Amino acid sequence: MNITIQSVRFNATEKLEQFVNQKVSKLDLFFEGILKAEVILRLDKSETSDNKVAELNIDIPGNSLFAKKQSKSFEESVDLACDAIRKQLEKHKDKVKAK
């Protein structure tokens, strides 16, 4: 799987990029046909502390899955987005098996 990471309005540290790669790579365990993953980490301009946004776009054969989560840290946002994508992958897998 090809993983692309973009950071908007800040420079992502090497440690954060490794964390994102590790989390997104684990999605391969739930669905083997993932073609590519695009992760966008964005710092919102809101006044609250929940201004770290992670957007995750996964391409699988015949479909594209998307999750966007916002929290106090990028790590938590990535965790939440990966969980949401994992649930979508499981639903897609069940749909394919039912056919």
pLDDT tens string 46-55: 778 889 999 9
Q: 23 with 85: CB under 8 angstroms?
A: no
Arithmetic mean of pLDDT over the chain: 93
DSSP SS3 for 48 = coil
Nearest Cα to 6, choosing from 45, 38, 50? 38
Mean pLDDT of 7-21: 95
Nearest Cα to 70, choosing from 43, 98, 32, 31? 43
What does pTM read for this prediction? Answer: 0.92
Q: Extract the tokens encoding 90.
A: 């499981």
Residues facing 71 on adjacent strands: 52
